[in-house]
A = this chain, B = another copy of it.
């Protein structure tokens, strides 16, 4: 492969962003190429590398006691493996023509240009933080970085010291998976929690009818839900601390507010450099994770859009598991091997106390947008043989394409054993199976694990009839 721009021995791989995607790419390339062939420099504007942002709610909840447990590999550990990690160093500009990036060191403020042979953009995502009155008040927290988690835990400790007899109140804005996980974390701290979202039901990664079951379960857990009304602002007290969240219809008093309104790709650098972005603002790549039209620029993680294997559309799905895979693909390709990231089917699992939520494939709205026609079925079944202790009810909703009977999506709400059951459907979707084929899947059966017909197969059986009846 001929490469434009500077050449030199060793080649230099420059990474922008030292979290999962970027450092996976670095580690994988290092494994394939010795330092005399490939120099690897990673710029990270924060202090940490390779940490699990997905673990922050569990750290706040107290399930994880030490922040460092969330760090898979520290900057020093990466350096010992031959990766030149520069923390507190922000990349401020990308010069595509010159194959170089401009950096500013946080401490000294020193700016300089660094040339690259291969560039990896792994700039991640930024939490959505609408410009509402009071949004920057004290007591309003995001949960994206380890620093966010530290600030929230410190605030919780401070509030705890001041706490009156009454249970303190928290509002979580955004009822997606971060929101519901944070609701649990705050319950564990003894808070009365209200989950606020402009959507009519929580978990818009589910169809509303399945979201309704999540809402009911949240209410049973004593999480209040205030849905269908957008936040209009945050009230502050005389000291500038948040004291209430106002919506179009209500006012919710709170000593603490957590924002879980989702994230957007952080792609200013890419945009300013003229790299191609998709509808949701993520960098567009080919299957090898090379930025479209740029031979020596790669992108991975929360800053990219991923191919939806079912519809062919590109979507922004920020998830650590994709970031790791994409980073590995980039590292293999830069290291001289070959790999592709073939896209996703949209699998996600979450947990709130005993409640487990899983989904994969398309929602009804997504199927409609893709021009598909489909049937839906919903079944109730149990996680284990009905007579086995701990058998918990679960609800499975399944979408199948009309005529072909091809599986389009599965959503599951239940308790223990519900969440990871979507993996069955995730693999079946990847393989393009029909519901008829699924009914005969040879899944693990024993009374402590499953009824004799696994709940996913019960849904598939019902869908076979629905496809036939729909004609």
Contact = CB atoms under 8 A, between A and B. Distances in A.
A35 to B, nearest CB: 21
A389 B6 CA distance: 49
A236 interface: no
Interface stretch (A50-58, A76-84, A87-95, A363-371): A50-58
Interface string A374-403: 000000000001111100000000000000
B387 A351 contact: no
A273 interface: no
B70 A449 contact: no
Contacts of A441: 426-427, 430
B453 A387 contact: no
A449 B349 contact: yes
A159 interface: no
- For A63, A64, A423, the residue with the greatest tally of chain B CB atoms inside 10 Å of its CB is A423
B324 A453 contact: yes
A346 interface: yes
Interface in A419-444: 419-424, 426-428, 430-431, 433, 437, 439-444
B319 A177 contact: no
Contacts of A444: 347-349, 358, 360, 419-420, 422-423, 426
A11 interface: no
Contacts of A450: 349, 420
Interface stretch (A160-168, A291-299, A337-345): A337-345
A447 B349 contact: no
Interface string A399-421: 00000000000000000010111
A350 interface: yes
A388 B324 contact: no
A208 interface: no
Interface in A277-329: 309, 319-322, 324-325
A437 B325 CA distance: 12
> How many copies of this protein are present in the complex?
2
Given A427-B428, A430-B431, A431-B431, A445 B388 contact: no
B422 A424 contact: no
A461 B351 CA distance: 27
Nearest to A306: B442
Contacts of A358: 444
A448 interface: yes
A471 B454 CA distance: 39
Which of A20, A320, A344, A440 gathers most chain B CB within 10 Å?
A440
Contact of A431 (B345, B433, B439): B433
Contacts of A324: 452-453
Contacts of A351: 446, 448-449
A37 interface: no
Given A388-B55, A427-B424, A443 B20 contact: no
A69 interface: yes
A69 B388 CA distance: 9
A125 B69 CA distance: 52
A447 B52 contact: yes
A440 B325 contact: yes
Given A442-B430, A443-B347, A452 B321 contact: yes
A58 B321 contact: no
A320 B360 contact: no
Contact of A385 (B52, B426, B431, B449): B52
Interface of A: 20, 52, 54-55, 58, 63-64, 69-70, 177, 309, 319-322, 324-325, 340-342, 344-351, 358, 360, 385-389, 417, 419-424, 426-428, 430-431, 433, 437, 439-450, 452-454
A-B CB proximity, top 8 nearest: A431-B431, A349-B444, A321-B445, A427-B427, A69-B387, A344-B442, A347-B442, A351-B448
17 contacts: A52-B387, A54-B447, A55-B387, A64-B387, A320-B445, A320-B452, A321-B443, A321-B452, A325-B439, A348-B445, A351-B446, A358-B444, A360-B442, A424-B424, A426-B443, A426-B444, A427-B443
